[in-house]
Structure 1
Amino acid sequence: MSVWDDLVGQHPVVEQLRSAVDASTPGGGAGPAGGGSAGGSTSGKMAHAWLFTGPPGSGRSTAARAFAAALQCTETPRGCGHCASCHQVLQGTHADVEVIRPSGLSYGVKETRELVLRASSSPSGGRWQIVLFEGADRATEAAANALLKAIEEPPPRTVWLMCTPSPEDMLMTIRSRCRLVTLRTPPVRAVADVLVQRDGIDAQLAELAARAAQGHIGRARRLATDPDARKRRNDVLAVPRRLTSVGPAVIAAEALVKAAEAEAKVTAEELNESETTALRQALGESAKGRMPRGTAGALKDLEDRQKSRATRVKRDALDLALLDLASYYRDVLTLQLGAGSDLVNSDLSAELRTAAESGPPEATLRRLDAIMECRERLEANVNPLLAVEALTLALRI
């Protein structure tokens, strides 16, 4: 067992990070960050700023967390996975590793300045003061500029680990000062093997879930273990065959939005419950559920953050539903062009072949473009129902 075990199908990344951990040993030092990929000349060196990039579900945060644990590890080989430091980092309780997960749609400059100030302190017991910034692409322009100043002149024992889907999501001036770690979409077979070996999932169901999730490990696990999640996805994939006229198209749009909201509600409630319980206990909740005086403000702040996060979770869930819908038309296009690639939705192969025979590839491409345009509209804060109604009407043409 080691901290790298949860990185599925990312062998080049593991080797890159292991080399950096070895270079960070006393006497190894930590040179300037600089840009570079797994194959670059600086890939084996330690740096003060790292940018973890890759498609959703590839394991950006998992890789960054494993790297943080290995950097703080007190055993040999580093990143053992069983020492106290590794355990604390992986559980999120290490005093010298701060994990930032933006709860809302953006991360502001005030929060960033406070973060930079905390990051400048010396490690209290670990080897490094580490900041793991998930969703760093949510930083506002002013926040990114504040972050840039910290990365340009970091304290000698501070390490920044930032996670974004793409390098282009960060300012060029930040990218140029970071060591780049590029993760790929894990192979379907590797994801299915993880579900079988670690979660005890039936091999056939694991294969279907891994293929449907398109390499997104967390979603594959949810699809494999949660029948309701599979049903919601099936409802999304049923949209194309429901677009028989304008009326059904509008109804299908409403169903699509509601399915995404149901998915988001499950996710948000799971997060909210654990957070609220932990905070109430930390504030001194009595056995009868009563809270001490003066704690209402802290609970209200948490509630506000959770409401802000709920908005983001709903948007993300709807975007995920649109990607599922795009996978349907991707399969149709694959069949129309005779590409020979494996189908994402192999359990719908008969329906997909019928759809492929009913029109030209150009029409399928227009439908895929309509889905991408809908995603852009949602990103621009267009009303979700209006945006999806426009999409379903475009899909039926």
Structure 2
Amino acid sequence: MTSVWDDVVGQEHAVSALSAAAHDSQYMTHAWLLTGPPGSGRSTAARAFAGALLCPQRGCGDCHECRTARDGSHADVEVVATQGLSIQVKDARELVQLAGRRPSVGAWRVIIVEDADRLTERAADSLLKALEEPTPRTVWLLCAPSLEDVIITIRSRSRHVRLRTPAPEAVADLLVRRDGIDPEQALYAARATQSHVGLARRLARDEGARTRRRNTLHLAVGIRSLGEAMSAAANLASIASEESGASSAERDAAERKRLLEQLGADPQARTQPPHIRGQLNTLEKEQKTRATRFGRDVIDRSLVDLMSVYRDALMVQVGTPVELVNADESELLATLAQLFGPEQLLGCMDQIGTARERIEANVPPLLALEAMAIGLRVPTRHTG
């Protein structure tokens, strides 16, 4: 028997709370804050909840309401997925206006903000009135990594549901069941991505992604000089640039063509009238902002992968009986454990964490990566 909650894996407590609210109005409220680490399925849970609220059977998983709520095409479901670095005040004001309208076809109007942590301070302030004086039959589903990532005035007006990192086996089962991925490949991908559902699916299906990940892991034993540190930083930055360009080129061209068609312009014309050029310039700025964010996300994923190999080497070194993220890289882990002492491995993890924080704080990625790579150089002699 199918359910709208089938893709929300390893989140029994959250599913129980949200399902109860969909079935019984005494558990329902006008604003929910769903938090959890990257890959835990915050957006998936929010969309499933929307389906359960709109479904006549409260979440059958098969009906039109469930299917369109999950894919974001339902008339009463608005999904805000940030493509830039932040959600601006003008976007928040548009959502407030939408929240004031009655549902058009269903029992609820559902507004899902997938990146509530990216609301600017002014944008968050714009939402407060809608949260303080909720419109009947409108529900807000705000998603963020943690409570601390959302300003206190927002989180104090929302009911909190915390999601956790699912077990790798649960993620692997989902990939096998939903995507038809080979069980062994699915489990490898789930472990390698530390149970990030979206990244695990991509890693399991994309040989290029697996190759790039292996190359990133092996940087840990290849940085022995200042020159190699600079080269490693440049390689990480170029991988992000290539992935960003490859993923966005086709989409950018399609968006440009669609805009020109909407404006009644000739997509093949060499020059466009001034008012159309202005619209194109705005679109190009938005696309560049999106590419910048995507590039930073790619770098961050690479740094998480790199940190995992130092962590695993430390576990091997001290003999801690825990599951390794990179169990398939036993030779690499053994080499790292020989080259670095425990304090040095911890120091490398600190260097990577600092680089992630700097990039998040808008330090140019290459500069942050260069500083990190210098700190990751293999020691000339073992001091452990």
Q: Could you tell me the TM-score, scaled by structure 1's length?
A: 0.88
Equivalence for 1:267: 247
CA separation in 2, counterparts of 1:358 and 1:208?
A: 26
- Contact 1:107 1:140 (8 Å CA) reproduced: yes
After TM superposition, the runs of 4+ consecutive aligned structure 1 residues lying more than 6 A away are 280-286, 292-296
Q: 1:193 to 1:176 in 2, by over 3 A?
A: same
Which of 29, 33, 36 in structure 2 is aligned with 1:51?
A: 33
1:333-361 Cα distance to aligned partner (Å, 9 max, x none): 11122211111111111220221133321
1:7-44 Cα distance to aligned partner (Å, 9 max, x none): 111122111111000113xxx5xxxxxxxxxxxxxxxx
Aligned letter for 2:338? E
- Contact 2:218 2:332 (8 Å CA) reproduced: no
1:278-322 Cα distance to aligned partner (Å, 9 max, x none): 666766799x989x9987665554433222111111111111111
State whether structure 2 residue 66 is matched by structure 1 residue 65. no
SS at match of 1:238: helix
Equivalence for 1:359: 340
Aligned letter for 1:378? I
Equivalence for 1:34: none
Number of aligned residues? 375
Q: Which runs of 5+ in 2 are unaligned?
A: 380-384
Q: 1:50 to 1:308 in 2, by over 3 A?
A: same
- Aligned pairs (5 A) from 1:1-397: 1-24=2-25, 45-73=27-55, 75-76=56-57, 78-269=58-249, 271-272=251-252, 300-396=281-377, 397=379
Equivalence for 2:382: none
- Contact 1:232 1:263 (8 Å CA) reproduced: no
SS at match of 1:131: strand
Q: Could you tell me the TM-score, scaled by structure 2's length?
A: 0.91
CA separation in 1, counterparts of 2:34 and 2:359?
A: 25
SS at match of 1:389: helix
Q: 1:65 to 1:272 in 2, by over 3 A?
A: farther
CA separation in 2, counterparts of 1:184 and 1:136?
A: 18
Q: CA RMSD in A?
A: 2.3
Q: 1:277 to 1:71 in 2, by over 3 A?
A: farther
Q: 1:322 to 1:101 in 2, by over 3 A?
A: same
CA separation in 2, counterparts of 1:96 and 1:116?
A: 14
Q: Give, in angstroms, the shift of residue 263 of structure 1.
A: 2.7
Q: 1:392 to 1:57 in 2, by over 3 A?
A: same
Deviates most, 321-330 or 170-179: 170-179
1:224-270 Cα distance to aligned partner (Å, 9 max, x none): 11111111111111211111211111111111111222233343346
Deviates most, 191-200 or 379-388: 191-200
Deviates most, 256-265 or 229-238: 256-265
